[in-house]
Structure 1
Amino acid sequence: MMIRGYIKHFFKKIHMQNEGPHSVLADDEFYDAVESGLDKMEEEQELRERLKCGQAIPITPPPTSPANSHRLWPEIDRVVKQEVSMASLGVGECGSGWQLFAEDGEMRMFRREEEMDGMVVDPLKAVHVVKGITGHEVCHYFFNPQYRYDWETTLEHMIVLETVSEDTLIFHQTHKRIWPASQRDVVFWSHTRRLPNDQDRDGPDIWTVVNNSTEHPDHPANAGKCVRIFLTVCLLCQTRVDPPKDGAPVSRDDITCKITYCSVVNPGGWAPASVLRAVYKREYPKFLKRFTAYVKNQTKDKPIMY
């Protein structure tokens, strides 16, 4: 009876420690648990990369109708223009309240502290400069689903719900659960676009990918075990080419990519604000460095994609 009572008490305690405002975990214990879970995911990702056989995920062929005939096109076009405009502004031009929270070499990360219904939804703006890759290449690997398992370490399952066109997809993603937080999922459209380079009309075009949450009848929000994430993300990339003075062909040593990454993420559910901000401070710089390193590794022996 004593053993049975102990087991019953043990499982009751675990249940109480699940995500929620009444969790018995202190904020530092909550953060330590999440940090440990993220570290484990990174180790698993490194193992997968070593064992990876190189097979790509097939994508549904794009339909013949263009994206601008789709029901979501007015929203897609409006959000893309809005996000690109905001990403193009310097931090000082975006309004007050931006704080530098991470700095590593050429990378600078800023945030504004904001909350919605008690949940941290801090807008993030990151600027990075990477040598040897182009904006087209960065957006190519960020947008295309066949590469996503390679660089998004928290991803458990991904499906393309709809191929609107070659440059517009609708995704459903389920992310791995990190104890003691609940598991998360997200439904969003993703659109990639080539933009004219007004500052250098003879230079390479600017490329962008914008992701924005949407609804889908087959995957309603918060209907199952997952808590729904709501997000808006903009990746804006501009390539600079410094041609060799001796007239030699341009190599990867002659190209540099300025990357601007903006995001607003509402993780849903509940978690201590201090924990979320600590996780963001740790994970966002690591994500940007990991992703750009992945693009450099993928492109180093390939022709330059402008």
Structure 2
Amino acid sequence: MKLKIKFYNEGPHSALCDEEFYDAVETGLDKIEEENQLRDRLKQKSVSILTSPTTTASTHRLWPEIEKITMEQLHYARLGVGGAGGWQLFAEDGDMRMYRREEEADGLVVDPLKACHVVKGVTGHEVCEIFFSPEYRSGWEATLENMAIIENISKDTLLFLQTHKRIWPASQRDALFWSHIRRVSDDQDRDAHDLWIVCNHSTEHPDHPPNAGKCVRVYLTVCLVCQTFIDPPKDEEEIKRENITCKITYCSVG
């Protein structure tokens, strides 16, 4: 018995009718969607199996550094524009403002960057939670390839190892850093409802030495500072999303 296999040509001479063609396309798209959903579930599963922290961050060996760097970054983020040591505007687009500040570290020029923006309808806490929480990271960090939490220090402090997609011709990069989120007191802006910060800073871990494999280790210090402002509705109505504004400040060094 001979098995006949019929091959179809693509293009205008294809033997597939329109209905068969669209069914094939739909099947292919469904398969891609299933693969994406499976990949997302695997990422979520890898996050959910973390053991709960048994101590607070303040008892961890890294706490002195976490406290120092976080407060330093909060200070720099809120530093005024212009003047000696202040931020200098170099680009703007709508409500977005970009600043830089001349600075040297160990004899090298680092030139930190600062971006400021205003978003309606969300709180500062919500924005910081999305920036901090691992389950949301692949949704906004486009260059992320793999992410692992190598230590769950506390509910507000995690130790990450991230691998980023290779951009030819540069070598692939990875980063090992702690990430810390907290609400801080705001003595500069009495109109703000609250003030939150997320600070990420490179660190070291004996099980993950730098440049041990195909990746080149990058070092970073970034912070996201968010303030919530509420425009009180008239006649004591319930506060809605349209009454909420979030002022976002993002700073990056390295």
TM-score bracket, shorter-length normalisation: 0.7 to 0.9
Which deviations, in whole Å up to 9, do the C-alpha atoms of 1:12-31 show, x marking residues without a partner?
Answer: xxxxxxxxxxxxxxxxxxxx
* Contact 1:63 1:164 (C-alpha < 8 Å) held by counterparts: yes
* Distance of aligned partners of 1:181 and 1:202 in 2 relative to their CA distance in 1, 3 Å threshold: closer
* Distance of aligned partners of 1:181 and 1:257 in 2 relative to their CA distance in 1, 3 Å threshold: same
Partner of 2:125: 136
Which deviations, in whole Å up to 9, do the C-alpha atoms of 1:217-264 show, x marking residues without a partner?
Answer: 111111211111101001111000001112211111001011111111
* Distance of aligned partners of 1:125 and 1:203 in 2 relative to their CA distance in 1, 3 Å threshold: closer
Partner of 1:123: 112
Q: How many residues align?
A: 217
**Greater RCO, 1 or 2 (C-alpha within 8 Å, sep 6+):** 1
Deviation at 1:203, TM superposition (A): 5.2
The partner residue of 2:186 within 173, 194, 197 is 197
Which deviations, in whole Å up to 9, do the C-alpha atoms of 1:243-294 show, x marking residues without a partner?
Answer: 11122111110010111111112xxxxxxxxxxxxxxxxxxxxxxxxxxxxx
* Between structures 1 and 2, the one with greater strand share: 2
The partner residue of 2:76 within 72, 80, 86 is 86
Which deviations, in whole Å up to 9, do the C-alpha atoms of 1:32-65 show, x marking residues without a partner?
Answer: xxxxxxxxxxxxxxx98xx557643425133221
The secondary structure found in structure 2 opposite 1:230 is coil
Once residues 94 and 78 of structure 1 are traced to their aligned partners in structure 2, the CA distance between those partners, rounded to angstroms, is: 23
The partner residue of 1:76 within 44, 49, 66 is 66
The partner residue of 2:161 within 172, 179, 204 is 172
* Distance of aligned partners of 1:94 and 1:113 in 2 relative to their CA distance in 1, 3 Å threshold: closer
* Contact 1:86 1:94 (C-alpha < 8 Å) held by counterparts: no
Once residues 249 and 99 of structure 1 are traced to their aligned partners in structure 2, the CA distance between those partners, rounded to angstroms, is: 40
Task: Within 5 Å, give how 1:294-305 maps onto structure 2.
Answer: none
TM-score normalized by structure 2? 0.77
Once residues 59 and 120 of structure 1 are traced to their aligned partners in structure 2, the CA distance between those partners, rounded to angstroms, is: 42
* Distance of aligned partners of 1:194 and 1:213 in 2 relative to their CA distance in 1, 3 Å threshold: same
Partner of 1:260: 249
Once residues 165 and 181 of structure 1 are traced to their aligned partners in structure 2, the CA distance between those partners, rounded to angstroms, is: 35
Which 5+ residue runs of structure 2 have no aligned equivalent? 1-31
The partner residue of 1:103 within 78, 92, 98 is 92
Once residues 223 and 152 of structure 2 are traced to their aligned partners in structure 1, the CA distance between those partners, rounded to angstroms, is: 20
Deviation at 1:82, TM superposition (A): 1.0
* Distance of aligned partners of 1:64 and 1:201 in 2 relative to their CA distance in 1, 3 Å threshold: farther
Q: Which residue identity is paired with 1:190?
A: S
* Contact 2:198 2:225 (C-alpha < 8 Å) held by counterparts: yes
Once residues 93 and 259 of structure 1 are traced to their aligned partners in structure 2, the CA distance between those partners, rounded to angstroms, is: 22
The secondary structure found in structure 2 opposite 1:137 is helix
Partner of 1:152: 141
2:216 aligned with 1:223, yes or no?
no
* Contact 1:60 1:163 (C-alpha < 8 Å) held by counterparts: yes
* Contact 1:183 1:227 (C-alpha < 8 Å) held by counterparts: yes
* Distance of aligned partners of 1:200 and 1:89 in 2 relative to their CA distance in 1, 3 Å threshold: closer
Once residues 192 and 101 of structure 2 are traced to their aligned partners in structure 1, the CA distance between those partners, rounded to angstroms, is: 33
Deviates more, 1:205-214 or 1:190-199: 190-199
The secondary structure found in structure 2 opposite 1:92 is coil
RMSD: 2.6
* Between structures 1 and 2, the one with greater helix share: 1
Partner of 2:238: 249
